[in-house]
Amino acid sequence: MVMFWPIQQELNCISDSGQILGKIKFDVFKDEYIFYPDNESIVLSDLETSNIDDRLSGLKSGQYSIPMQDDD
């Protein structure tokens, strides 16, 4: 299972053990959400990959959103 924690218009993807797997960010040039691994040496389990893929498709469809932060 992967937890998704919003930070500065991004989502941190965190494993059950508390390890940050990476971030989901919106790429304005490609007009899509993309997962960026925190470390290239991290190997995701099938469940983690599935959870991240589900979140990405939910963001694309509008089922989920990333809250915007107001830095006033």
pLDDT of residue 72 exceeding 70: no
CA dihedral sign, ordered 45, 5, 64, 24: negative
Give domain status of residue 23, yes or no: yes
Give domain status of residue 8, yes or no: yes
Give domain status of residue 52, yes or no: yes
The count of domains in the chain is 1
Give domain status of residue 72, yes or no: no
Q: Which domain holds residue 26?
A: 2-61
Give domain status of residue 66, yes or no: no
Give domain status of residue 67, yes or no: no
Give domain status of residue 68, yes or no: no
- Note the pTM of the prediction, 2 decimals: 0.83
pLDDT digits (tens, 9 = 90+) for 3-32: 887 777 889 999 999 999 999 999 889 989
Give domain status of residue 57, yes or no: yes
